[in-house]
């Protein structure tokens, strides 16, 4: 009887601690991906470009189609590989003619990008629809023109039929419409995790070590920048209390005010290398460096390991994605141009 009472008290105390930690996290600005599909749909949908199954399936094909690029070799998935972390796993993105990004910028993950308030490292576009137009046209990336994209898509009857199914018989296939459709697919790339289950009330979703790490994450001030649903995705000052030790790799200095998009921490264990120029490969090293240059804090090895343990809880569940079978090229499809 006495032992049973002690166990009951211990369980109650543990539940209270977990509940308090979840509340502390929410009070610090952390938000979970909603467990309700209806709530999630409201968050990821774009009223000006509503999500439908037909658009998503067509957007997926366009996302994987390398013929949208000038060379006929590079697709969206080349730099944002959905088979792993939604990025390319290299320091600087590689594009047309094997060109490294001239600013030595690292490819951000596309997973959960729908929750970002700013797209691109300099935050120049707020929405995925606008963002999707950029890499297709960028010379060191896909290097295509809007005319090339439209000519490619409209050269294949299967694509034309799918656009009509998605948008109606009177649809005009434009470059913007192609980008919008890709963005519709990207809006569905959401990866709920154990962390979300915990904040949504499932106390045992995190291990004790992960709960300790979450507390350390909050106490050290990491939530100052890494907050919201994405734990990032907004613009913030960089090099606040120190200078990033690899600042001289590439010439990126942020936007006109020196602000840089805060990278999401979701699936962070799968998106090395870290920082805008991809110079740090070890997650604990990245945590310590962020503490030094953003918080003016010395993060010990023990604290870094604790925070890293929490970050593992952000490894999300990815919906199975079947590589789409693309339409066959026709005699009207633009030929690959590697010049």
Enumerate the active-site residues.
Answer: 141
Written in H, E and C, the secondary structure of the chain is CHHHHHHHHHHHHHHHHHHHHHHHHHHCCECCCCCCHHHHHHHHCCCCCCCCHHHHHHHHHHHHCHHHCCCCCCCHHHHCCCCCCCCCCCCCCEEHHHEECCCCCCCCCCCCHHHCCCECCCCCECCHHHHHHHHHHCCCCCCCCHHHHHHHHHCCHHHHHHHHHHHCCCCCCCHHHHHHHHHHHHCCCCCCCHHHHHHCCCHHHCCHHHHHHHHHHHHCCHHHCCCECCCCCCEEECCCCCCCCCCCCCCCCCCCCCEEECCCCCCHHHCCCECCCCCECCHHHHHHHHHHHHHCCCCCHHHHHHHHHHHHCCCCCCCCCCCCCCCCCCCCCCCCCCC
Cα–Cα distance measured from residue 199 to residue 107, given in angstroms and rounded to the nearest whole number: 29
Cα–Cα distance measured from residue 56 to residue 51, given in angstroms and rounded to the nearest whole number: 7
């Amino acid at each position: 009887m006495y032992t049973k009472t002690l166990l009951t008290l211990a369980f109650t105390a543990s539940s209270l601690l977990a509940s308090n930690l979840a509340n502390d996290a929410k009070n610090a600005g952390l938000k979970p991906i909603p467990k309700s599909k209806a709530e999630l749909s409201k968050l990821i949908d774009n009223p000006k470009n509503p999500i439908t199954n037909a658009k998503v399936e067509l957007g997926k094909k366009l996302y994987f189609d390398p013929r949208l690029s000038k060379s006929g070799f590079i697709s969206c998935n080349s730099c944002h590989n959905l088979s792993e972390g939604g990025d390319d796993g290299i320091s600087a993105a590689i594009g047309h003619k094997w060109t490294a990004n001239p600013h030595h910028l690292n490819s951000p993950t596309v997973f959960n990008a729908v929750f970002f308030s700013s797209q691109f490292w300099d935050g120049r576009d707020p929405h995925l629809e606008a963002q999707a137009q950029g890499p297709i046209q960028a010379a060191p990336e896909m290097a295509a023109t809007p005319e090339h994209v439209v000519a490619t898509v409209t050269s294949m009857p299967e694509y034309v039929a799918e656009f009509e199914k998605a948008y109606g018989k009177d649809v005009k296939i434009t470059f913007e419409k192609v980008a919008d459709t890709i963005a519709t697919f990207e809006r569905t790339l959401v990866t709920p995790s154990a962390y979300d289950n915990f904040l949504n009330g499932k106390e045992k979703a995190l291990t004790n070590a992960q709960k300790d790490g979450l507390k350390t994450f909050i106490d050290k001030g990491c939530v100052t920048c890494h907050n919201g649903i994405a734990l990032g995705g907004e613009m913030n000052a960089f090099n606040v209390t120190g200078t990033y030790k690899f600042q001289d790799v590439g010439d990126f200095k942020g936007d006109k005010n020196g602000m840089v998009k805060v990278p999401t921490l979701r699936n962070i264990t799968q998106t090395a290398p870290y920082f805008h120029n991809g110079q740090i490969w070890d997650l604990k090293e990245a945590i310590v460096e962020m503490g030094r240059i953003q918080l003016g804090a010395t993060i010990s090895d023990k604290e870094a390991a604790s925070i890293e343990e929490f970050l593992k809880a952000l490894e999300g569940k990815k919906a199975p994605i079947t590589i789409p079978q693309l339409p066959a090229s026709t005699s009207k499809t633009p030929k690959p141009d590697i010049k």
